[in-house]
Structure 1
Amino acid sequence: MARLPRLYAPNVPQLAQSTFIHPLSPIPAEPDIPPLDLLRMWLTQDAAPLGIALHGWLLMEDRITVLATPEDPTALSRLFQALGRRIAARLRHGRVFDGRYRSALLQPSQWVLPALIWLESLPVQLGRTSHATTWQWSSARCHTGMNNSFQSLLNDHADYWSCGNTPFERQTNYRAMLEEGLSSAQAEAIRRALHGQWALGDEPFLQQLSLKASRRPTPAPRGRPRKRAAE
């Protein structure tokens, strides 16, 4: 089966994820520098010059996940390629990623905040930590006001700004949302859209998106097209 072309639409946020063939491990020559610290530094250096507005990010030993609005159809591809070249040069040799990255387009005001919560909660869901804010390599600590050291890496989406009128109010309200988490239906919808590489939104959004997206944003109906009744 031919693989799907990239799904892109101007000014529409994307959830994107790429997994590694093998989990990252400490560098023998530099054992005191965690690989994820290097990856975070490279993400800081590469995202903005490519015209990518990062709304959320998560780095783990087996994957990179970002919520972003890219400036053009190739920006995210070039970001993952740049990170792959850096990883190959410093952390390992040969192929880095396990195939192409996957992505989903998201309806603002409906799915951006749930996708951000899903992304920042992944270390908890995968059993890597007990609380999202204790994972050092994600945007969760910035969004909850616990650590602003990497705030420059973020370009917060308008949906996050709608959480409150002041930074403290936004951080407090978002922290409560992050602690509450998503419903199982929300989490499954995000997972399916990401792995299927489709768009996530209501019917009017999807219809409007189909007019400007690079390809159809939802799966085609199953089965053969209906034949028109004979006149």
Structure 2
Amino acid sequence: MARQARLFIPDCPMVLELQGIAGQEVFNTREAFSLFYTQLPLSAAEEEVAIHAYCMVPAGALIMISTSEAPRAGRFVQNLNRHFSPAVRQVQTVHSSALWEPRFKSTVVQPGLHSLKACLFVEQLAARAAGAPDLATYPWSSFAAHAGVVNEAWLIDLPVYWQLGNTPFERQSRYRQFSEQGLSERDCQELSHCLQKGWLWSDDAFCVQIQELANRSVRPRPRGRPVLKKNSTD
């Protein structure tokens, strides 16, 4: 059976998951983290991709992007790997010929509140996978930039982030408040499932509205045969 095309909706945020091959750690040294971090904006610029959020942990990375054309997401990941893979071998021991699982996972996210939640979900990988006690001091995540701790001019803020306030200080303060509320267990489970399966994460209304713009089905179809409608004369 042919592999299903990766879900893409123009200019809608996407969350990409890059995992070390066979569960192996990709980032074992500070230098490895730094190399990947430095390459992120370079590869994004080359492939005309906007990076909204990111988080790196030893076993891999989550990156939130948007772009206008479906092939750009894949080329962005390829560009990252092409530059990072040979460089990282100079700063740490790599025990396999490949660094990453051959196919990265992804989900498309509804703009608005869903995308703000997905942004925080990406950044909270530092707590879920790396046990970071304070996201604001974790160096390999965009949370510190969104919270106003550091400045990363190459990050492209989501439109919903701009709606948090009229000034950078207001937006940063309200994002910190938003992070303190946290994500519900349901949101985390739904987003994780969509990421693993490649489906759209959205409400039902957006799902119906956006289907015509998508390159394939945005959600799985109900199992079984469709119910036949009875003839009105029966």
Q: TM-score, normalised by structure 1?
A: 0.90
Counterpart code for 2:217 = R
Could you list the per-position Cα deviations for residues 181-201 of structure 1 after superposition, in whole angstroms to 9, with x for gaps in the alignment? 111111111111111111111
**2:138 aligned residue (135, 155, 158):** 135
SS at match of 1:175: helix
Q: Structure 1 regions of 5+ residues with no counterpart? A: 28-32
2:153 corresponds to 1:119? no
Distance in 1 between the 2:16 and 2:70 partners? 13
1:36 equivalent in structure 2: 33
**1:54 aligned residue (46, 51, 56):** 51
SS at match of 1:64: strand
1:16 equivalent in structure 2: 16
- Maintained 8 Å contact 1:121/1:178: no
Q: CA deviation at 1:26?
A: 4.8
- Maintained 8 Å contact 1:87/1:96: no
Aligned-CA RMSD value: 1.8
Distance in 1 between the 2:204 and 2:84 partners? 40
Distance in 2 between the 1:217 and 1:110 partners? 19
Distance in 1 between the 2:230 and 2:41 partners? 59
- Maintained 8 Å contact 1:16/1:66: yes
- Maintained 8 Å contact 2:26/2:99: no
1:192 equivalent in structure 2: 193
- Maintained 8 Å contact 2:27/2:57: no
1:152 equivalent in structure 2: 153
1:30 equivalent in structure 2: none
Distance in 1 between the 2:128 and 2:155 partners? 23
Q: CA deviation at 1:15?
A: 1.2
Counterpart code for 1:215 = R
Counterpart code for 1:66 = I
Distance in 2 between the 1:34 and 1:147 partners? 20
Q: Structure 2 regions of 5+ residues with no counterpart? A: 90-95
1:4 equivalent in structure 2: 4
Q: Percent identity at matched positions?
A: 29
- Maintained 8 Å contact 2:11/2:67: yes
Could you list the per-position Cα deviations for residues 193-230 of structure 1 after superposition, in whole angstroms to 9, with x for gaps in the alignment? 11111111122211121101010100111122334547
- Maintained 8 Å contact 2:211/2:217: yes
SS at match of 1:198: coil
Could you list the per-position Cα deviations for residues 48-84 of structure 1 after superposition, in whole angstroms to 9, with x for gaps in the alignment? 2211111111122211211111121011111111122
Question: For this pair of structures, how many residues does the alignment match?
Answer: 224
1:104 equivalent in structure 2: 107
